[in-house]
Structure 1
């Protein structure tokens, strides 16, 4: 089955991971929420991440994360599934993703727990 997009998905090899590109990808609040969400539930489709942004903006966030090497995307039929490249990131930059997830969860979780107040 042909890809749903005309151009192939670009995923950098582990040797091509650039610390500054990874860090830049992780500076946006929406992208942090995506990473935290994927850490909790690997393999989620893009459509699960309905945020207060348009579909095209959300698509750009996923592309930035993918091209930096933070996530892996795979098309299955008409859906695009996402997973964190945790093992590869840990191999290249030990401890970085754990720190990002810890700090990111502290930022993302309070918004989801609005019922506890």
Structure 2
């Protein structure tokens, strides 16, 4: 694990397939990933998902700790983007296939 400011994120060689698949198995997390894939990068506060902020934060934490997304601080916001290149290198075609299937 490496720290991006105060945010724990796995190194590319630490990303495991089982954690990625677990993170993407939840419909809320899948919705988050699809929105980030479409926008490129999204602030945590920009998601219009009807749930408590703490629950949404938990979903981002699972995605970040599994290696699906990376987060960086920009002022008071956490900006999130997919770790597309790292995931493609580690598991070729996986993220593209999941995004394509989820977009249908």
Give secondary structure in 1 for the equivalent of 2:88: helix
TM-align CA RMSD: 1.1
1:37 maps to 35
- Correspondence for 1:86 among 84, 87, 98: 84
Q: How does 1:1-117 map to 2 (within 5 A)?
A: 8-106=6-104
Structure richer in strand, relative to its length: 2
Q: Provide TM-score, normalisation by structure 2.
A: 0.92
Structure 1 spans left out of the alignment, 5+ residues: 1-6, 107-117
Task: Give runs of ≥4 in structure 1 deviating > 3 Å.
Answer: none
Structure 2 spans left out of the alignment, 5+ residues: none
Give secondary structure in 2 for the equivalent of 1:36: helix
Q: Provide TM-score, normalisation by structure 1.
A: 0.82
Give secondary structure in 2 for the equivalent of 1:83: strand
Give secondary structure in 2 for the equivalent of 1:10: strand
1:28-59 per-position Cα deviation (integer Å, ceiling 9, x unaligned):
11111111111110121011112121110000
Q: How big is the shift at 1:76?
A: 1.1
